Amino acid sequence: MSENFPMTVEGRRLLEEELKRLLTVDRPAVLKAIDEARALGDLKENAEYHAAKERQSFIEGRIGQIGAQIAGAQVIDPSQLHFEHIVFGATVTLEDSDSGNEVKYQIVGVDEADISKGKISVASPLARAMIGKKPGDEVSVRTPKGNTSYEVRKIQYI
């Protein structure tokens, strides 16, 4: 019963890198820390042991989470898409209708979103409002400051 969710090729690569680091660096380091803390004696009052076990629990949970994300992902390579309208993976240049300022966002998977890098989640209100739009179309989205309108200036699949 796996549910497919979209993810870019870059998003999958980053998850695979994190998984590799967890398996080859972090897990062995925490196992070593547990062994060293065990050697200190009484485990009931051994703060180092409990901290290492907590870290181990986090690492194992993250390994499982990443494995599930990769297994359930529908990986999409935006550079292979050729649409006239906005779909998942598109990099969209918008012009703010009020200020005239341009912003550029790529629509990515939920776990890939990073506004500081111009990547917005496909589940975000702005991305949902953009899906299906073409250059010249207006996109209106409710923000904490009120409704904001944009004009779609450019769509790229890169």
Residue 41: predicted pLDDT: 77
pLDDT tens for the chain, 158 residues long, are 346 889 999 999 999 999 999 999 999 999 999 999 888 877 778 888 999 999 999 999 999 999 999 999 999 999 999 999 999 999 999 999 989 999 999 999 999 999 999 999 999 999 999 999 999 999 999 988 889 999 999 999 99
| Residues 26 and 59 sit within 8 Å (Cβ to Cβ) | yes
CATH number of 78-156: 2.40.50.100, 3.10.50.30, 3.40.47.10, 3.60.21.10? 3.10.50.30
| Residues 11 and 72 sit within 8 Å (Cβ to Cβ) | no
For the chain, the structural domain boundaries read 5-75, 78-156
Q: What single string gives the DSSP state of each residue in 97-157?
A: TTT--EEEEEEE-GGG-BGGGTEEETTSHHHHHHTT--TT-EEEEEETTEEEEEEEEEEE-
Residue 1: predicted pLDDT: 37
Residue 37: predicted pLDDT: 87
Question: Domain spanning 5-75 has what CATH number?
Answer: 1.10.287.180
Contacts of 41 (CB under 8 A, 6+ apart): none
The whole model's pTM is what? 0.84
| Residues 136 and 154 sit within 8 Å (Cβ to Cβ) | no
Residue 44: predicted pLDDT: 78
